[in-house]
Amino acid sequence: MGDRRQHRILVVSDFFYPNFGGVENHIYYLSQCLLKLGHKVVVMTHAYGNRSGVRYMTGGLKVYYIPWKPFLMQNTLPTFYGTLPIMRNILIREKISIVHGHQAFSTLCHEALMHARTMGYKIVFTDHSLYGFADVGSIHMNKVLQFTLAEISQAICVSHTSKENTVLRSGLPPEKVFVIPNAVDTAMFMPAPERLKSDEIVIVVISRLVYRKGADLLVEVIPEVCRLFPKVRFIVGGDGPKRVRLEEMREKHSLQDRVEMLGAVPHAQVRSLLISGHIFLNSSLTEAFCIAILEAASCGLLTVSTRVGGVPEVLPDDMIVLAEPDPVDMVRAIKKAIAILPMIDPQDMHRRMKKLYDWHDVARRTEVVYDRALKCSDQHLLDRLSRYILLTHLSSKFQRRVQRGIALQRASGDYSAELS
């Protein structure tokens, strides 16, 4: 590995610490591991409160909090050229070789990728979320994504479902899109040192209580499970607009002593909450990857989850019980999980998770993507412009291409079935 090249990477996203979430986590851990591999990593995000300017984090990770205020959901106001001067400054000062943007609805990421491309840098983009194709918001986002990704060097998705989604949305050739999942810091999520007593079963839910996370499903599922299993107790961590509905449900079925509502749980306390339970319940309606499941599994909990988005890819079948997102099936899944619970050894589960997910592995795979990106040929400005013009016609053409592709695929599938 002597000839391995050192990359100088600028990671751009609106979402970074002190804000907390999947993307923030991903950027932090990936950067740390890339630093350990000998690359240079600089993070750029917008100012959070009075946190503006340059900060250093663990391992010498340099973070630029550029003085732009967020205006909606932690996003900066899209100005197209407003961020160009400071971007250019950072790119030149840090002698960047690759710009890596994260998350499709970060405006800062889109602007940074646009400017970086204009300045001739190689760009890589990671998509962390799934989008539909029907509503106005998605149509707009998909157009923006097509614009940004029209000239991307390489793209990364966190699951195979997410890759299918991104390819459809942006019209990228599938071979340019890599699947590199999230990982979990298994050292931070150790199971409880001794096994919990099994005279009562504790089901833990940690999620924002919003529609997309399936809080309405919980409202239907919890009373039914409590009715069927007198030994089950629920602990719900998280806050959101649907919390009122859950509390109403608790009153209505008088389950105050069996359903504990904790409100928002700081990330540092997630582990201690997780290890107080036997089963982790995820009720999301859409999910590209779901790190929460990894954290729970790493703590040795058996997971029950809805079969949505990338969730079925996340864990081997014997570590998770999947259910369709409807209350009856979810109750069935919980029943099954309670039945197989005695066979689950948290310590063993933790050891397996250690082998399955590792941030260092993620970093090494990302390194490969960077190497490929650097090998991509440079494109002339005129090519780029002509591609933008094509973009307006792209949707209809692309759709036809997809249709044809599918037809071919089906045909070949039938053919191979006949052969075997």
The contact set with another protein (CB under 8 A) reads 130-134, 154, 158-162, 164-165, 167-168, 174-181, 212, 214, 216-217, 220, 245, 285-286, 288-289, 306, 308-310, 313-316, 325-327, 355-358, 361, 365, 368-369, 396, 399, 402-403, 405-406, 409, 412-413
Nearer to another protein, 66 or 320 (CB): 320
Residue 71 vs residues 48, 49, 74: alpha-carbon distances, Å: 11, 12, 7
226's tokens: 């409590």
Q: Which residue has the tokens 């100005």?
A: 79
* Cα 344–chain centre separation: 27
Closest among 279, 234, 272, 280 to 253, alpha carbons compared: 234
Residue 373 CB, nearest distance to another protein (Å)?
12
Using only the alpha carbons of the chain, give its radius of gyration: 23
Residue 191 CB, nearest distance to another protein (Å)?
18
Residue 353 CB, nearest distance to another protein (Å)?
9
Nearer to another protein, 106 or 162 (CB): 162
Nearer to another protein, 168 or 196 (CB): 168
Give the single-character DSSP code of 192. Answer: P
Nearer to another protein, 28 or 131 (CB): 131
Q: Answer yes or no: are the C-beta atoms of 239 and 209 closer than 8 Å.
A: yes
Q: Answer yes or no: are the C-beta atoms of 322 and 333 closer than 8 Å.
A: yes
Nearer to another protein, 32 or 162 (CB): 162
Residue 394 CB, nearest distance to another protein (Å)?
13
Residue 331 CB, nearest distance to another protein (Å)?
13
H or E segment at 240?
A: none
Nearer to another protein, 57 or 249 (CB): 249
Q: Which residues have a Cβ under 8 Å from the Cβ of 349 and sit 6 or more positions away?
A: 191, 297, 298, 300, 301, 302, 319
Q: Answer yes or no: are the C-beta atoms of 45 and 14 closer than 8 Å.
A: yes
Give the single-character DSSP code of 284. Answer: -
Residue 71 CB, nearest distance to another protein (Å)?
25
Nearer to another protein, 200 or 326 (CB): 326
* Cα 65–chain centre separation: 22
Residue 173 CB, nearest distance to another protein (Å)?
9
Residue 33 CB, nearest distance to another protein (Å)?
14
416's tokens: 């191979």
Q: Answer yes or no: are the C-beta atoms of 408 and 402 closer than 8 Å.
A: no
Closest among 350, 333, 243 to 296, alpha carbons compared: 350
Nearer to another protein, 43 or 184 (CB): 184
